[in-house]
Amino acid sequence: MSAIKIKFVHLVRLLFPCNYIEWAVFLFFITCYGILGSYIALNYRIIFDSRIPWDAYFSFDNKAIVMTGGSFERHPLSYYFFNWIRAVALFISDGKMDATFRLALAWFSNIAISLSLVQVFKYLKNIIRLSLAITLLIVMFFGVFSTNIILSFTPENFTYTLFLLTAYNHYAAIKIRKEQKIPASALVLAGITIGGLTVTNIVKVFIPVLFEKNLFKNWKKLGNAILRVSIACILYVIFYLNRIHFKYQTIFSKTNQQYEKFSNVKSTPIWDMIYSFFFGGNILFPSFIISDKNNMKGFAYKGLFMDTYSSLAPYIFVGIILFLLCWSYWKNFKNNLVQIIVISFFIDILIHCFMRFGLHTSYIYGGHFIFVYPLLLGWLFYSYRSAPKTLSFLAVTISILFVYLLINNIIRMSEFFWFLNTYYQ
């Protein structure tokens, strides 16, 4: 078998289910998400309405993303990706942007999110090597996070970014565990795809390189790593500049405009937006707010947004999750794979919580980091693998949190459907 064919087989085995239990996980989630997305696509016009470019629900830019890939300064190469998505969806719908078109878009998202769940399952089972029962518990818990539910039918950059980031973290973990370097080809592919969909995420592609064995003790290895990263960066920049016809000045002007626009947060206290939107809103739905919106041509429509938490229970729920994550980091501080996950997460914390970019709608950015939660929970279980009582305590805690999360998110989704029935039939 040729080297290229071997690499292709390995890529397929990495990205897709490759045994019975992985297929079972995939089929379970694709069925659940598929029923939800199909019902919404066939009965409501909210997934794609040519009159509504943005903010129909939770600040997602469905029509704008599907038609153009989004703004080039934040999503430099997604234009090309969504050209393919749109072309295939139009082929399926016979060239019409109707219910069938919406259904195709919803199923593309469904497949991407279901595969993301498979990637988290693979990481927990193959990298952390948890028991099947604990792995399934964490994956089920992760599966009902608000981000996964919403992105499972939403055609957005975040949807595909979640899949790419989970797959790349799984791949990088395999390489680090085997004490192998991440090849330049993988860095280039990950940089163009992950960084192409959202520019800030390209930094996350290079974090695992820092943890390659003896990197800073061997000048030859360090030079090789710098070369690999440089190749990936140069090719990425070339593709980026080609996308904007090498008018690089527009990058800075547009970036400043976007920062000013998305950093002017509303009157809600900063701490509450960080807690309710960034840390909590991507897991546990808060209550919703309906707002009057209009497009540039004056078409009026209703938009749905998340509010901060209005009772003590959600704050306690999120607080317990954050405590468990910090506990995991403390117990696994010397673990390089955990450091990769946490540093990646810190980039998003820096952008949204410290720089306040998009903090008032940071519940939409979960696709960039929400997979960190189940992975850190997995490492917490791993650190107590020889302590049955603590394992039982953790399992019971996650089970209770799962029940509360499931009930809350089902109730909130019923409110979402009321919104659809009222304004988007």
Answer for the pair 60, 154: CB distance below 8 angstroms, yes or no: yes
Q: Which residues, listed in sequence order, are joined to residue 149 by a DSSP beta bridge?
A: none
Q: Residue 313: which pLDDT band, with cuts at 50, 70 and 90?
A: very high
Residue 317 has pLDDT above 60, yes or no: yes
Q: Which residues contact 359 (CB under 8 A, 6 or more apart)?
A: 263, 265, 270, 273, 274, 277, 278, 352, 353
Instruction: Please state, in angstroms and rounded to a whole number, the distance separating the CA atoms of residues 103 and 192.
Output: 28
Residue 2 has pLDDT above 80, yes or no: no
Give the residue, 188 or 267, on which the prediction is more confident: 188
Instruction: Tell me the HSE value of 40 on the side-chain side, using a 13 A CA sphere.
Output: 32
Instruction: Please state, in angstroms and rounded to a whole number, the distance separating the CA atoms of residues 227 and 379.
Output: 32
Q: What is the mean pLDDT of residues 113-133?
A: 97
Q: Residue 246: which pLDDT band, with cuts at 50, 70 and 90?
A: confident
pLDDT computed for residue 3 by the predictor = 73
How much of the chain exceeds pLDDT 90, in percent? 81
**90 closest CA partner among 148, 58, 50:** 50
Q: What is the mean pLDDT of residues 390-408?
A: 98
**398 closest CA partner among 374, 363, 382, 420:** 374
Q: What is the mean pLDDT of residues 130-152?
A: 98
Instruction: Please state, in angstroms and rounded to a whole number, the distance separating the CA atoms of residues 398 and 390.
Output: 12
Residue 253 has pLDDT above 70, yes or no: no
**207 closest CA partner among 178, 240, 232, 244:** 232
Residue 1 has pLDDT above 60, yes or no: no
**What is the rounded average pLDDT for all residues in the chain?**
93
Answer for the pair 360, 273: CB distance below 8 angstroms, yes or no: yes
Burial, 214: exposed, middle or buried (Cβ in 10 Å; 0-12, 13-18, 19+)? exposed
pLDDT computed for residue 260 by the predictor = 53
pLDDT computed for residue 72 by the predictor = 80
The residue type at 141: F
Residue 230 has pLDDT above 70, yes or no: yes
Q: Residue 54: which pLDDT band, with cuts at 50, 70 and 90?
A: confident
User: 311-319 contacts: CB < 8 A, separation 24 or more?
Assistant: 313/404, 314/276, 314/280, 314/284, 314/286, 314/408, 315/275, 315/280, 317/280, 317/284, 317/401, 317/404, 317/405, 318/275, 318/276, 318/279, 318/280, 318/283, 318/284
Residue 258 has pLDDT above 60, yes or no: no
Q: Which residues contact 410 (CB under 8 A, 6 or more apart)?
A: none
